[in-house]
Chains A and B, each alone.
Chain A
Amino acid sequence: QKEVEQNSGPLSVPEGAIASLNCTYSDRGSQSFFWYRQYSGKSPELIMSIYSNGDKEDGRFTAQLNKASQYVSLLIRDSQPSDSATYLCAVNPIKAAGNKLTFGGGTRVLVKP
C-alpha cells in the first residue's frame, strides 16, 4: 500500500462545476496535510494546508480532513479552464524526520469550456 494515494485521473470537469479530489494516507499519526497545484512543466505551488478535522475554505478551494478515516479531499468550486493542472496531496507523517513530506502521485484535472 502506498503511503499517500490519489486517483491519477484525468478528472474531467465542465467549466463552472465542482471538481472533487480525494487522497488517502496510511500513517494514522500524520498531523499536517497539504494540497499543491502543478501546471505542466512548472513546479508545485501551495494551494492550502490543513491540520484539523473538518473543512477549511480559501476562495474557490475547500480542503476537508477526516483523520479517523485517513482521507483528505479538495473541492474546487466554479472550476475554470485555468484550474486544469495536476493536484498533489502531501502528508507529513509523524515518523518522518524534520518537515519531510510524502507526496501522492497526483490527480490530473481537465476543466473543459
Chain B
Amino acid sequence: GAVVSQHPSRVICKSGTSVKIECRSLDFQATTMFWYRQFPKQSLMLMATSNEGSKATYEQGVEKDKFLINHASLTLSTLTVTSAHPEDSSFYICSASGDVTDTQYFGPGTRLTVL
C-alpha cells in the first residue's frame, strides 16, 4: 500500500514554456501533498504544502506565481512550472500524507531539463 505516482518521469522543454507535473496517490486518500526540489548532490528542499481544496502554502523564497500548485482532489496534485528557465532544471519530487499518520510517501520524481 501507500503508492504515489508521478507523471512524467522525465521532461525536456524549451526556455519560456510551462511544464505540468502530476502527483497521484494510488491507494489512499492524501489530505496533504508536498512538493520538493532536489539539485544534484544536495538535500531535499520543500517548496510547498498543499491540502485538498485549499491554496498551497509556499516556503520562503519560492515564487508562488512561478510554481503553481493545485490539489483538486484527495488523490491528485499538480505542479506547473511556468515560463521555465534553465535554472529551474532539477529533480521535482512529490510526497503524500493521509489522515491516519503523518508518514509521507514519496513519488518517483520528475527530472526536468530546461534548454
Binding site for B on A (CB under 8 A): 32, 34, 36, 41-46, 49, 88, 90, 92, 97-101, 103-106
Complex Cα spacing A23 to B106, Å: 21
Complex Cα spacing A101 to B49, Å: 11
A97 pairs with B108, CB closer than 8 A: no
How many B residues are at the interface, by size bracket? 20 to 34
The prevalent SS among residues of A at the interface is loop
Specify which of A32, A41, A97, A105 is in contact with B43 (CB 8 Å cutoff).
Answer: A105
- Compute the total of residue contacts between A and B using a CB distance below 8 Å: 50
Complex Cα spacing A3 to B97, Å: 21
Specify which of A32, A42, A90, A101 is in contact with B109 (CB 8 Å cutoff).
Answer: A42
Binding site for A on B (CB under 8 A): 2, 32, 34, 43-44, 46, 49, 51, 57, 91, 93, 97, 101-109
A103 pairs with B43, CB closer than 8 A: yes
B109 pairs with A106, CB closer than 8 A: no
Complex Cα spacing A106 to B38, Å: 13
Q: Which residues in B have their C-beta under 8 angstroms from that of A42? A: 108-109
Tell me the nearest residue of chain A to B41, going by C-beta.
A40
Tell me the nearest residue of chain A to B111, going by C-beta.
A41
New contact pairs (5) apart from A44-B106, A46-B105, CB-CB < 8 Å? A34-B104, A46-B2, A98-B51, A100-B34, A100-B46
